[in-house]
Amino acid sequence: MELIVEDLSVARGGMAVLEGVCFRLACGHALVLRGPNGAGKTTLLRTLAGLQPPRGGRISLDREAMVYAAHADGIKAVLTVEENLRFWADLYRVDAVGAALEAFALGPLADRPAGALSAGQKRRLGLARLLVTGRRVWVLDEPTVSLDAEAVGMFARAVRAHLAGGGLAVIATHIELGLEAEVLDVARFRPRRVVTGDEDFL
């Protein structure tokens, strides 16, 4: 499996955000998206995930092979941590709840309602969800927000294991994860607009 993006244009709120995005990502590889606030990382990820249509270009990706995780983790507050994972495991038909609890040190919190978790604990649960999806392509928007250093390490280990198993990951992050990943600065793809006055382009 390979993720191929060709000449992709994406927009938010009716405004062009990125144009001409191209990259290829093979099994076992990760791509880290960089760029300043507002550069378009989330918009690109949402487009890859099929949450919004591209303005132009091509994405070759079997969406059935992909899982997207962003700020809203889709956690059900009234279910316990383990029940949340079981819910997703049943949905994706992947029996890996124990491994997911262990990977993110959620065992001691397994019986706690998710609504009673701290922000970082909720984020760990949202990331543990990735492990019960069995999906090959992880599309992750700022996955380490609210995580302490130890939890960032858990996440990095989970990504490494995923890649070692033939998975792919596209990750927008402002922090250094210590992964061997290709880096794409999305600011390179900022649209060039012709304007009147002394400047030719913005």
Ligand X SMILES: Nc1ncnc2c1ncn2[C@@H]1O[C@H](COP(=O)(O)OP(=O)(O)OP(=O)(O)O)[C@@H](O)[C@H]1O
**CB 159 → ligand X: shortest distance, Å?**
19
Encoded tokens for 115:
């609504």
**CB 149 → ligand X: shortest distance, Å?**
21
Task: Write phi, then psi, for 153 (nearest 5 degrees).
Answer: -60, -40
Residue 42 or 121 having the CB closest to ligand X: 42
Interface positions with ligand X (CB under 6 A):
12-13, 17, 35, 37-43
Residue 35 or 167 having the CB closest to ligand X: 35
CB 140 within 8 A of CB 171: yes
Encoded tokens for 130:
């990735």
Residue 81 or 184 having the CB closest to ligand X: 184
**CB 102 → ligand X: shortest distance, Å?**
30
Q: From the CB of residue 139, how many other CB atoms can be counted at a distance below 10 Å?
A: 25
Q: Cβ-closest residue to ligand X?
A: 13
Which of 51, 52, 49, 50 lies closest to 15, judged by CA?
Answer: 52
Helical H segments across 10-169, by residue range: 41-48, 81-92, 97-103, 119-131, 149-164
Residue 41 or 122 having the CB closest to ligand X: 41
Burial class (CB in 10 A: 0-12, 13-18, 19+), 193: exposed
Encoded tokens for 97:
């709840």
- Residue listed under structure tokens 């992709």: 8
Residue 35 or 136 having the CB closest to ligand X: 35
Q: Report the distance separating Cα 157 and Cα 146, nearest Å.
A: 17
Residue 37 or 64 having the CB closest to ligand X: 37
**CB 60 → ligand X: shortest distance, Å?**
22
